[in-house]
Amino acid sequence: MSTNAALFERAQRVIPGGVNSPVRAFRAVGGTPRFIHRAEGAYLFDAEGRRYIDYIGSWGPMILGHGHPTVLEAVRKAAADGFSFGAPTEREVELAEEILKLVPSMEQVRLVSSGTEAAMSAIRLARGATGRAKLIKFEGCYHGHADALLVKAGSGLATFGNPTSAGVPPEVVQHTLVLEYNNIALLEEAFALHGPDLACVMIEPIAGNMNFVRASVPFMTRLRELCSRHGALLVFDEVMTGFRVGLHGAQGLYAKLIPGFRPDLSVFGKVIGGGMPLAAFGGPRDVMQQLAPTGPVYQAGTLSGNPVATACGLATLKEIQRPGFFEALAKRTRSLTAGLAQAAQQAGLAFSVDSEGGMFGFFFLDPLPQHYQQVMATDQASFNRFFHGMLERGVYLAPALYEAGFVSAAHTAADVEATVNAAHEALR
């Protein structure tokens, strides 16, 4: 049996940093990454055979837990029929129909293979449809690693303290404006200065890459008003929140709070693939018709609409539509966050926590942060000690304080109780 340390040493010889995505390297928290051998339900098992209660869930997709029988059977059947064809399949159409049924703001959708690809393509589409170049994003929001978006991004970049990425020329990001999240005054100023030149505003409605920070209702209301007034497209990045915080995504939550609210374009990933590489972007028919082959905005992908990935995603979306699914998931998540808050209170620590559906976040800070600079005030040392204390007790949290956490339908009341008990011990 290989050890995690031996595997990490071996990996570093052939893979940069020993990992294929930076946050997995444990650089922010220190120590040796756990190399996962297998997963089942709410649990991960590492190379040394140790079991962990999993609150990463592959960074969101595993809303049903690992190895859900119905999803597994759908994937096995699809794989037996063929891995990839490079030609259309009926299942692509079925998945598109299922997504559109659940997201009223979209009339057409294009399937791709990653959230980065979907976000990049949505911006290109917005620019092509409006004939404008500039875009707004918000500090602490991460929309994938496309060049134009690596400007004061959150997530892995925040973990390493870099405001941007090497290899991105200044002229590539000259049209990207970065504003403070939840700051209405700055938003109004940006539109006053650049309104006629703005193609779009891209936002995580609940930012999961600076842990868990909601866009306030007044901020979102004003953002929608300004986009409509100036002809800029409002792009919702729901790679993380889509079908995770509710059956209709974060936009469904805001639609209940803001009369007539809907984004112009939406980006999805993670849950719609059920753990397979699959993402999507979509919007009104007249905008989506600007895409090739019907329009001048080019986008293509060899593995887009992959038959095995679409089978996994379709089976997942059908399962989460079962009556009471999200009510039960949200209740389980709230029981976890309440338990963590109680443990921190008893330990006398500054602590705040929030959740929606099966997504949650916590901070060694009080009150809840509203933007990236407040998130940066979180006690990093306390988080690192807590992370390792929980890991030692068999609870796998995200190895960086900038990442949200995820609860699945496979997590039981006993799992939550064990997690809260571990938190009491670790925080002491």
Catalytic residue (choose from 43, 52, 55, 142): 142
State the DSSP H helix or E strand holding residue 121, giving kind and residue range, or none if neither.
Answer: helix 115-130
Q: Which of 411, 288, 304, 312 is nearest to 360 (CA)?
A: 411
| Known active-site residue 142 | yes
Positive/negative CA dihedral, 210, 326, 54, 363: positive
User: What three-state secondary structure class fits 407?
Assistant: coil
Give 214's strand partners: 206
The C-alpha angle with vertex 186 and arms to 181 and 189, in degrees rounded to 5, equals 145
Residue whose pair of structure tokens reads 């620019």 in the numeric block? 127
Catalytic residue (choose from 52, 54, 134, 237): 237
Alpha carbon 144 to its chain centroid, in Å, reads: 10
Please, what's the b/e burial string for 268-290 (b: 16 or more CB within 10 A of its CB; e: otherwise)? bbbbbbbbbbbbbbbbbeebbeb
- Within 8 A by CB and 6+ apart from 52, the residues are 34, 43, 44, 45, 46, 391, 394, 395, 396
In angstroms, the CA 91 to CA 80 distance is 15
| Known active-site residue 415 | no
Catalytic residue (choose from 54, 134, 270, 396): 270
User: What three-state secondary structure class fits 392?
Assistant: helix
User: What three-state secondary structure class fits 72?
Assistant: helix
Q: Which amino acid is at 145?
A: H
Positive/negative CA dihedral, 389, 390, 396, 402: negative
State the DSSP H helix or E strand holding residue 6, giving kind and residue range, or none if neither.
Answer: helix 4-14
Q: Which of 326, 371, 115 is nearest to 237 (CA)?
A: 115
Q: Phi/psi of residue 237, each to 5°?
A: -90, 100
Q: Phi/psi of residue 214, each to 5°?
A: -85, 145
Q: Which amino acid is at 405?
A: G
Contact 321, 399 (CB under 8 A): no
| Known active-site residue 81 | no
CA distances (Å), origin 385, targets 160, 281, 304, 380, 382:
18, 39, 41, 9, 5
Q: Which of 226, 139, 236 is nearest to 184 (CA)?
A: 226
- Residues labelled as active-site residues: 142, 237, 270
